[in-house]
């Protein structure tokens, strides 16, 4: 078990209060705004370590290489449904997708197979907001 640095604790506290996925840069900016003196490289290093010990989930921002992080209350294997407008995120179960992935791996004689799978869309609030504007 790694020693919890004050910086690590500050990052965890910040992420616990965020519902959306954030980039290392966003997290760094929010920490600095909150008066935490921390460098971007330190934020990034902590996030990587937290990802490795499953404290945070990570995804790639849709259509980019930017890595985003989120503290997820759900600690068993799951996926994410992400609103591309406001970033609202719902933890979802893979359902039949998990069996399909295992079956494909077995059929092709692959083991230690992992997958990343996220769904991106628009949440009802963003849709309503949008249609509210067009009605004017």
Interface with Zn ion (CB under 5 A): 57, 72, 83, 85-86, 88, 91, 94, 123, 126
The DSSP output letter for 57 is: E
| Smallest separation, CB 70 to Zn ion (Å) | 6
Residue number, 43 or 57, with CB nearest to Zn ion: 57
The DSSP output letter for 20 is: S
Cα-based torsion angle of the residue sequence 126, 129, 131, 135 in order, rounded to the nearest 10 degrees: -170
Phi, psi of 132 (to 5 degrees): -60, -40
| Smallest separation, CB 49 to Zn ion (Å) | 18
| Smallest separation, CB 114 to Zn ion (Å) | 9
Q: How far is CA 127 from CA 32, 88, 130, in A?
A: 33, 13, 5
**What beta strand segments (E) does the chain contain?**
22-23, 56-60, 67-71, 79-83, 89-92, 118-121
Residue number, 29 or 91, with CB nearest to Zn ion: 91
| Smallest separation, CB 136 to Zn ion (Å) | 20
* CB 43, CB 24: distance < 8 Å: yes
Residue number, 28 or 88, with CB nearest to Zn ion: 88
Residue number, 37 or 108, with CB nearest to Zn ion: 108
């Amino acid at each position: 078990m790694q020693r919890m640095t004050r910086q690590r604790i500050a990052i965890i506290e910040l992420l616990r209060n965020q519902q959306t996925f954030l980039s290392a840069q966003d997290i760094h900016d929010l920490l600095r705004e909150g008066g935490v003196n921390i460098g971007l490289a330190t934020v990034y290093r902590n996030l990587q370590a937290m990802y490795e010990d499953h404290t945070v989930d990570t995804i790639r921002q849709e259509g980019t290489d930017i890595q985003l992080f989120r503290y997820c209350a759900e600690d068993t294997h799951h996926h994410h449904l992400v609103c591309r407008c406001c970033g609202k995120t719902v933890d979802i179960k893979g359902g039949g997708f998990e069996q399909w992935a295992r079956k494909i791996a077995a059929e092709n004689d692959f083991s230690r197979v992992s997958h990343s799978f996220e769904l991106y869309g628009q949440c009802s609030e963003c849709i309503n907001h949008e249609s509210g504007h067009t009605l004017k």
